[in-house]
Amino acid sequence: MNIRRFATLDSTNDEARRLAEADETGPLWIVADAQTSGHGRRGRVWVSEPGNLFTTLLMRVPGSAEQCAQLSFAAALAVGDTVAALAPQAHVALKWPNDVLLEARKVAGILLEAASTKDGCADWVLIGIGINLSHFPENVEFPAISVAAVTGAAPERDDALSVLGSHWNRWFEAWREGGFEPLRQAWLARAAGLGDKIVAKAGAREIEGVFQDLDGDGALLIREVRGGISRVTAGEVFFRP
């Protein structure tokens, strides 16, 4: 693994973007002990105190930006495998679109960003990953947890990064050789809420029904209460009893 380490950054994704714009080609893992402006999807703040893993993988990937967006599922699978290795007796699940759950609480999140050139191909891809190794935020919208809260001890950050890099390589190769379908099948096998009642919030719209499947491009398919299938490409999922 090619790794660049920092004591403090505004965010690893921001640093990766600066490096990409300065013609860094990667693949490069950017790691920070702490972030002052860590953020997740939709601009949400990611609490970034020392002790957890904050990293972004910068790489250039052939294909369209839409194809590269599928790599968020490869990252989720890699993070899920990593958390399962760090907490082998616990239950790990994947929550659409890009969260990893440990004992039904959020332990990790993923933020993928891609830039396109004029011909529509991805110029670079940034895959930001945060894993709660030693601590987790309280009073958040979706309950959180850390690996240490489950196992009684926080893993070493570099050990976690090494495990993550190994699993990432495996899932990236699966995507490069087989496209999205191998990722889709593996993700569904670990999906939280599959076959259960959920509510998906997509902008001002709320869709209630049963989580039925993933589409061939990663969209969420919900069988609505009133009948019919809704396809959700972006939003937030909440579980219902």
Enumerate domains of the chain plus CATH numbers.
Answer: 3-189 (3.30.930.10), 197-239 (2.30.30.100)
Q: What is the pLDDT of residue 205?
A: 86
Q: What is the pLDDT of residues 87-118, one digit of tens each?
A: 999 999 999 999 999 999 999 999 998 876 55
Predicted confidence band at 77 (pLDDT cuts at 50, 70, 90)? very high
Mean pLDDT (the chain) is 90
Average pLDDT over residues 192-212: 91
Spatial separation of the C-alpha atoms in residues 101 and 116, rounded to whole Å: 31
| 31-40, 43-52, 62-71, 77-86: which is most confident | 77-86
Percent of the chain with pLDDT over 90: 70
Question: Which range has the top average pLDDT, 21-35, 170-184, 190-204?
Answer: 170-184
Global pTM reads 0.92
**What's the whole-number mean pLDDT along residues 165-194?**
96
Q: List pLDDT tens digits, range 41-66.
A: 555 555 567 899 999 999 988 777 77
Predicted local distance difference test score (pLDDT) of residue 225: 81
- The residue ranking higher by pLDDT, 76 or 239, is 76
Structure confidence at residue 76 (pLDDT): 98
Q: Which residues of 133-163 are buried (b: 16+ CB within 10 A; e: fewer)?
A: bbbbeeeeeeebbbbbbbbeebbebeebbeb
